[in-house]
Structure 1
Amino acid sequence: MLLRLYTDENAHVGDRRLVDELVRRAREAGLAGATVLRGRIGFGTRAGPIHQHHSLGVGDNMPMVVEIVDVEERLRDFVAELGGLRHIGLATIERVEVLTIAANQTGG
């Protein structure tokens, strides 16, 4: 399964970026893998701002997506533990077909 967590570049948990915290927690939870993607442009609600690059980078707050792969039960348990975190705009889960696993991966 693939879990996607949508947020933005300026979202923080204390002094740590939210995306960094999500990846750290996914690793600590023993999930199979996580990747952070930085979007070029996006928005979260009809009334919300469009997140995009501004000239000279002033006021940038780019959309970010954290993708995490594992079995469904572990991903749902992981999301349940994120309840106290703010600034996760959307969480989605979908079935994916794993075609290959990196050669350096070990059992589990």
Structure 2
Amino acid sequence: MKREKLLRIFIDSEDKYKGEPLWKFLLKSVKEKGLSGATVIKAAAGIGSHSEIHTANILALSINLPLVIEIIDEEKKIEDFISFIDTILEEGLVTVQDVEVKIYRHR
């Protein structure tokens, strides 16, 4: 058993950083900074910080859905990554919680 931190970054699918989708930039940054990995989860619906409902509506011309990026790693790496994204994140929510890794298998 290993105690780690779970970082969750809540953003919208249309958020950008320097013209690139923010989620894609964050994934590249995770790799460049040597974190264990990350998962991007697209929500079917959600209510954002502006209290607007975001949903996948086939009649909508633009679908701006909530995304959650999850990263599990040691506390130091997570804290360093939070400091990094604090300089680029214009809107969103960032949370951290303790997590106990029971099984982690990789080749």
Give the TM-score of the pair, scaled to structure 1: 0.86
Structure 1 residues 88 and 99: CA distance shift in structure 2, 3 A: farther
Is 1:18 matched up with 2:18?
no
Give the conservation status (yes or no) of the 8 Å contact 1:53–1:62.
yes
Gaps of 5+ in 1: none
The number of residues matched between the two structures is 103
> Structure 1 residue 84: deviation in Å?
2.4
1:53 and 1:40 map into 2 onto residues whose CA distance is: 6
CA contact (8 A) 1:5 1:88 kept: no
Matched, 1:42 2:37: no
Equivalent residue number for residue 33 of structure 1: 37
Aligned to 1:71: 74
| TM-score of the pair, normalised by structure 2 | 0.87
Shift of residue 57, structure 1, vs aligned partner = 4.4
Cα shift at 1:87: 3.9
| Aligned CA-pair RMSD | 1.4
Aligned to 2:38, the other structure's residue is in SS state strand
**Structure 2 runs not aligned, ≥5 long:** none
What's the CA shift for 1:56? 3.6
Per-residue CA distance 1:33-58 (angstroms, 9 max, x = gap)? 1010000111122x431111112442
Distance 2:36 2:43 in 1: 23
* Percent of aligned pairs sharing the same letter: 32
Partners of 2:91 and 2:10 in 1: CA distance: 6
Structure 1 residue 96, shift from structure 2 partner: 1.0
Are 1:59 and 2:62 an aligned pair?
A: yes
Aligned to 1:8: 12
Cα distance change, pair 88–27 in 1 and its aligned pair in 2 (3 A)? farther
Q: CA deviation at 1:66?
A: 0.5
Per-residue deviation, 1:61? 0.4
Structure number with the higher strand fraction is 2
